[in-house]
């Protein structure tokens, strides 16, 4: 290990307590989205950067959703690496299912608990410290390093990374490294694309005893939902190298996202996330609405799915449809330079070689891939993500910090 690489590793070991305290304090900054107010969390990062003597700026097209951006140039020309993480988190609700304070950042039995612990204040903390540690070596570094700690990720909103990519090309870079949850055993080089559709059904309605007088909107919805399953039969068209990567990563995919994940990575899936209908048990419902979450794998297009949806819808004149959201599936080379760098560092730290996989869920990394900029995700297990008692193992957290910092250094210096 070179002197500078060893110095980075030593700093992380020596400053372990400070890094953990930053992470815990970051969790205590409430930033649920919705409603999406991340001002406290952004200020927390900004205050840290100020104490470190690191110039930064807040870019806030929506005042309650600021983005923290910082950048520095090394001593010699080279590649531009962008570190990306988000600071908004899922809501908690009433928190009754939590055994720990969701906003407490509690450290219990080697685990740090709280909303956003894995999704993704762990990864964003890794980005912040990677930036801080490499800045200390800037007089010997090549290239350019940029930090983007963004808002508005959880709702695919327009005020975070999307805004930066559209209005601030200085954050595009040559490669993006992201710490979203997945698994220390995997590197995400692609992800499925969400297509959200809303369906509304209207009928005349009637008294519950007069079922002959009107069709039931809820029964029609039931049949429509069953017919929409046809989208899951669409077959993807994938290149040989993607197919090989997916097959080689089957075991790692299941380890990262649960048994069965590998079976659906390359399939269209349908989830009915919301359904509402009826006013009273003894009334034939005159209205029903439901929202469908269709996930497109690599090799399936929006046009293919919508063609099947429209065929089904044509058989239901009582129904209408509106597209709520769509983000295409995305991927970059599964054997890109950053993949090999991450694998080497994980293997040196833990003795195993993380596999490149495609994710079921979405991240802001897709926004770089849409511009043909390689973007890779290496983060912690998603334990409790979107549910109760979200947490990250302390050693996993510090592992993510070290791998990100060393991999960022290697990417900039190996050209």
Q: Residue 354: which of 191, 176, 181, 187 has the closest Cα? A: 187
- Complete domains list, the chain, with CATH: 3-191+329-413 (3.40.630.10), 193-326 (3.30.70.360)
Give mean pLDDT, residues 275-290: 97
Compute the mean pLDDT over every residue in the chain, rounded to the nearest whole number: 96
Is a pLDDT exceeding 70 seen at residue 315?
A: yes
* Rounded Cα distance, 195 and 193, in Å: 7
- In this prediction, residue 1 has a pLDDT band, given cuts at 50, 70 and 90, of low
Is a pLDDT exceeding 90 seen at residue 415?
A: no
Is a pLDDT exceeding 90 seen at residue 95?
A: no
- What proportion of the chain, given as a percentage, has pLDDT over 70? 100
265-275 per-position pLDDT tens digit: 999 999 999 99
Give mean pLDDT, residues 373-389: 96
Phi/psi region, residue 87 (left: phi>0; alpha: psi -120 to 50; beta: rest), is alpha
- In this prediction, residue 156 has a pLDDT band, given cuts at 50, 70 and 90, of confident
Q: Residue 261: which of 349, 151, 182, 342 has the closest Cα? A: 182
Give mean pLDDT, residues 361-379: 97
Q: Torsion over CA of 358, 361, 367 and 373, rounded to 10 degrees?
A: -20
Q: Which is more confident, 156 or 372?
A: 372
Q: What is the reported pLDDT for 306? A: 98
Q: Residue 391: which of 380, 375, 406 has the closest Cα? A: 380
3 state SS of 305: helix
User: Which range among 103-107, 160-164, 256-260, 388-392 shows the weakest confidence by mean pLDDT?
Assistant: 256-260
CB burial of residue 189 (10 Å; 0-12, 13-18, 19+)? buried
Is a pLDDT exceeding 80 seen at residue 331?
A: yes
Q: What is the reported pLDDT for 41? A: 98
Is a pLDDT exceeding 90 seen at residue 81?
A: yes
Give mean pLDDT, residues 19-32: 98
* Rounded Cα distance, 380 and 142, in Å: 28
What six digits make up the tokens of 322? 């509106």
227-258 per-position pLDDT tens digit: 999 999 999 999 888 999 899 999 999 988 89
Q: How far is CA 228 from CA 195, 215, 267, 310, 321, in A?
A: 13, 20, 15, 10, 12
User: Which range among 167-171, 220-224, 236-240 shows the weakest confidence by mean pLDDT?
Assistant: 236-240
- In this prediction, residue 2 has a pLDDT band, given cuts at 50, 70 and 90, of confident
């Amino acid at each position: 290990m070179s002197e500078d690489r060893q110095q980075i590793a030593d700093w992380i070991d020596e400053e372990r307590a400070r890094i953990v305290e930053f992470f815990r304090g970051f969790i205590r900054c409430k930033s649920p989205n919705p409603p999406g107010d991340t001002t406290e969390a952004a200020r927390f990062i900004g205050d840290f950067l100020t104490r470190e003597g690191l110039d930064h700026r807040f870019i806030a097209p929506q005042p309650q959703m600021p983005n923290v951006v910082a950048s520095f140039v090394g001593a010699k020309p080279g590649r531009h690496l962008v570190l990306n993480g988000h600071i908004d988190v899922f809501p908690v609700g009433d928190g009754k299912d939590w055994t720990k304070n969701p906003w407490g950042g509690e450290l219990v039995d080697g685990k740090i608990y709280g909303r956003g612990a894995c999704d993704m204040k762990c990864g964003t903390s890794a980005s912040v410290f990677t930036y801080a540690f490499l800045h200390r070596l800037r007089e010997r570094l090549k290239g350019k390093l940029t930090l983007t700690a963004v808002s508005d990720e959880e709702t695919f909103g327009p005020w975070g990374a999307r805004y930066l990519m559209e209005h601030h090309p200085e954050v595009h870079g040559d490669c993006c490294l992201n710490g979203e949850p997945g698994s220390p055993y995997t590197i995400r080089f692609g992800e499925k694309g969400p297509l959200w559709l809303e369906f509304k059904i209207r009928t005349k309605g009637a008294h519950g005893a007069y079922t002959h007088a009107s069709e039931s909107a809820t029964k029609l919805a039931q049949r429509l939902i069953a017919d929409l399953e046809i989208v899951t039969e669409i077959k993807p068209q994938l290149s040989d190298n993607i197919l090989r990567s997916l097959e080689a990563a089957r075991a790692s995919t299941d380890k990262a996202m649960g048994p069965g994940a590998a079976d659906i990575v390359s399939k269209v899936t349908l989830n009915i996330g919301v359904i509402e209908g009826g006013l009273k048990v003894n009334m034939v419902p005159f209205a029903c609405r439901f929202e469908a979450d269709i996930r497109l794998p690599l090799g399936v297009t929006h046009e293919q799915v919508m063609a099947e949806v429209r065929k089904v819808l044509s058989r239901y004149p009582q129904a209408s449809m509106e597209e709520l959201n769509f983000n295409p599936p995305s991927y970059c080379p599964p054997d890109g330079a950053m993949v090999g760098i991450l694998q080497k560092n994980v293997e040196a730290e833990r003795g195993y070689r993380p596999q490149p996989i495609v994710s079921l869920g979405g991240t802001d990394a897709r926004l770089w891939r849409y511009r043909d900029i390689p973007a890779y995700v290496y983060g912690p297990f998603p334990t409790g993500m979107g549910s109760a008692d979200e947490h990250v193992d302390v050693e996993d957290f510090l592992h993510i910090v070290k791998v990100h910092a060393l991999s960022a250094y290697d990417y900039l210096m190996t050209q």
